[in-house]
Amino acid sequence: MTMSKETEKTLKTQETIVRFENVSFEWGVNKPILDGVSFTVRRGMKFTLMGQNGAGKSTIFGLISGLYHPESGIINVVKGVSIASAKQVIPRDQLDCTVREFFEKSFKHKVYDIDPKIDDILEVVNLKGPPSRLVEAGHTKIHDKKIRTFSGGQQARLLLASALIQDPDLLLLDEPTNNLDKAGITHLTKFLINYKKTVLVISHDAEFLNAFTEGVLYLDVYTKKIEQYVGNYFNVVKDITARVEKENMKNAQLQKEIQAKKDQANVFAYKGGRLRLVAKRMREKAEELEEEIVDVRKEDRSIRPFNIPSQPDLIGEILNISSFTTIKNGKIVKHKAKISLNKNGHLLLQGPNGIGKTTLLERLASGHADGEKVKEGIRIGYYKQDFSTLNFEDTVYQSLSSAMLAGGEKLDEERMRSIAAGFLITGEFIRTKIGSLSEGQKGLVAFARLVLQKPGLLILDEPTNHINFRHLPVIAKALDEYKGAMVLVSHVPEFVKQIRIDEVLDLEK
């Protein structure tokens, strides 16, 4: 993208605080992530790191933070620059920490009297503990609550707060809007607009990014290079799309010329004599044109259209909810309800972070509930926002095989691989352990498993989290057309609008 003179002048006066020079990095043999990458990050800039699921965006954060080291090239971070990173998910070994212990781990050195700092930063991310009158009455103070007792949305806010509490010179945010409700995203957006220091964000939320982004670092999963663009998010995406279209048009024209030269060469070669020399020159010209063909960025592919088959012979009521509980001001409140789902019934669960949506879904999936009942014999497909239904020690192949068997099919490797390929699961990917995948890749594996499981009841908890925005319309269409019973939780209105919803249960109302 062409910079304005004003932007160019601003960039020249800003100090470079991170510089990558010809950096290459790979995960083991034959798993290159970066190949001779060069880019700069200047003080005070707010950039988006963009690229396909699994391209290596989170790895770049690790390289900047010093968690990983390049195979070759130089990474220069200006001395004294403090860096803080908000991860996508709470590490499993920290789920039993208290809030205070969790925040203490954010600092290299012991911080005395940390509770007031925690209170201030929880206010920023709109996460409040029980009122003081309830604490006095015996409720647990938020600083002493264990991380695992918080909902997925509340854990997302804690992750964010753990980075913000450090007030770093460079803030690295990896999918910070995942699990956040509308109020949470509004708070975060306002904070980033007003943040005076440097920010680098990985996100698939276009509206959120466009509110504060001043440029894009675009990581191409095939060339393993980074292209640097300046401008707001929508303008950069438009610029990249126009460039791809131009490359496609140029390639189409070159292919026509190449074919014409080859046809002429065949005609002259057939006539023999001195015309064979002309034929040879024609072939050489065709080869020269082939070298001009541009490698169009293949990562602009989305997953293939798919459908999730429902369990056969579904008859009568599949799910009944006569009562449910919510959590308000630290108290558990019971409510009556009258919801019945048969085949082809779609229910949307709504409510703010922490009210009890995920708890209700877990009770439905486990069958441990008083007021919620799933018909006996119904196969449940559960898409969890933290992917804990996946065995992280399994390879993708093992995970998909077990899903196929659970769906009542014999193991058909050809069919399984065909379905996997539709979710861009090919080559080495299928032999990789689930735990080694990016969060976005885990999401694609989870959807492939649902196709193979053929559930009668589909339970989806924030299925847009971590997923490349190009895939979302395809996923929405598959859910819209699903013929079994479905319960959906999503904080993304644009996604929900594309799906047929028959009933809504708002836990707040």
**CA 286 to each of CA 253, 289, 292, 449, 491: distance values in angstroms, whole numbers, following the listed order:** 13, 5, 10, 46, 53
- pLDDT, tens digit, 9 for 90 and up, residues 474-487: 999 999 999 999 99
Same fold, 1-81+198-231 and 317-506: yes
**pLDDT given at position 2:** 45
Give the gyration radius of the chain's Cα atoms.
Answer: 26
Confidence (pLDDT) at 483: 95
Neighbouring residues of 55: CB distance < 8 A, sequence distance ≥ 6: 33, 219, 220, 221, 299
Taking the C-alpha atoms of residue 263 and residue 270, their distance in angstroms, rounded to an integer, is 11
* Predicted local confidence at residue 429, as pLDDT: 85
Q: Cα–Cα distances in Å, from 298 out to 143, 214, 242, 424?
A: 47, 25, 15, 11
Per-residue pLDDT of 93-137, as tens digits, reads 889 999 999 999 888 888 888 988 998 888 888 787 655 444 444
Query: CB within 8 A of 96, min separation 6: which ones?
Result: 146, 147, 148
Q: Which CATH superfamily is domain 1-81+198-231 in?
A: P-loop containing nucleotide triphosphate hydrolases (3.40.50.300)
Reported as a single tens digit per residue, the pLDDT across 173-191 is 988 887 777 888 888 898 8
Helix ranges (H only) for 14-114 are 57-65, 99-104
| Sequence spans of domains, the chain | 1-81+198-231, 83-167, 238-299, 317-506
Q: What is the pLDDT, as a whole number, of residue 232?
A: 84
CA distance 402 to 380: 14
Determine what percent of the chain falls in helix, strand and coil, rounding each to the nearest 5. Answer: 40, 20, 40
DSSP 434-474: GGGS-HHHHHHHHHHHHHHH--SEEEEESTTTT--TTTHHH
| Helices 152-164, 182-194: inter-axial angle, 10-degree rounding | 10
The segments of the chain whose pLDDT lies below 70 read 1-13, 28-30, 53, 129-139, 291-301, 329, 368-369
Containing 217, the helix (H) or strand (E) segment is: strand 215-219
Residues shown for the chain:
509
- Provide the whole-model pTM: 0.67
Q: Which two tokens stand for residue 501?
A: 């919803």
Which class does domain 317-506 fall in? alpha beta
